[in-house]
């Protein structure tokens, strides 16, 4: 997954932040889908690498995501933003989140640790 996320990072479109991010999701049947951040001059239209990878998996018919890997150029691993945490949670509240920076240390979380008391379909009346 890390290699797929690194490959996606190479395609990041980030002329504004200059901060490329790559992500890759692992599906229930072992397929891996990558995604990168794609920025826009209208900042609100930017899509994060994590959501890009998830939407790629979903558009290919996968609904149960087992894990997501995130790679950034920062020295320390960076976890997903709040919006991405919510989207990961939608497809598996116990998904593994693996974060890699440029050092050799990785961080591992469950999405439920990163997004406690998350809003979900169970909250909808």
Identify which of 14, 64, 9 has the alpha carbon closest to the alpha carbon of residue 35. Answer: 9
Q: Which residue ranges of the chain lie beneath pLDDT 70?
A: 125
pLDDT at 44: 93
25 close to 51: Cβ distance less than 8 angstroms = no
pTM of the shown model: 0.93
3-class DSSP assignment, residue 114: helix
Domain spans, the chain: 2-123
pLDDT at 103: 79
Active-site residue among 50, 90, 94, 113? 50
3-class DSSP assignment, residue 112: helix
pLDDT digits (tens, 9 = 90+) for 27-60: 999 999 999 999 999 999 999 999 999 999 999 9
CB atoms within 10 A of CB 30: 7
pLDDT at 125: 66
Q: Is position 50 annotated as part of the catalytic site?
A: yes
Query: Which of the following CATH numbers is that of domain 2-123: 3.40.1280.10, 3.40.50.1000, 3.40.140.10, 2.30.110.10?
Result: 3.40.140.10
């Amino acid at each position: 997954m890390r290699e797929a996320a690194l490959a996606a990072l190479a395609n990041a479109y980030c002329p504004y932040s200059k901060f490329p991010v790559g992500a890759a999701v692992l599906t229930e049947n072992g397929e891996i889908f990558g995604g990168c951040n794609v920025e826009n001059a209208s900042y609100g239209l930017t899509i994060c690498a994590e959501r890009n990878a998830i939407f790629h998996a979903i558009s290919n018919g996968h609904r149960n995501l087992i894990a997501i890997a995130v790679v950034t150029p920062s020295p320390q691993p960076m976890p997903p933003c709040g919006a991405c945490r919510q989207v990961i949670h939608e497809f598996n509240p116990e998904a593994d989140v693996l974060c890699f920076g440029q050092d050799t240390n990785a961080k591992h979380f469950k999405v439920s640790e990163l997004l406690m008391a998350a809003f979900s379909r169970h909250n909808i009346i």
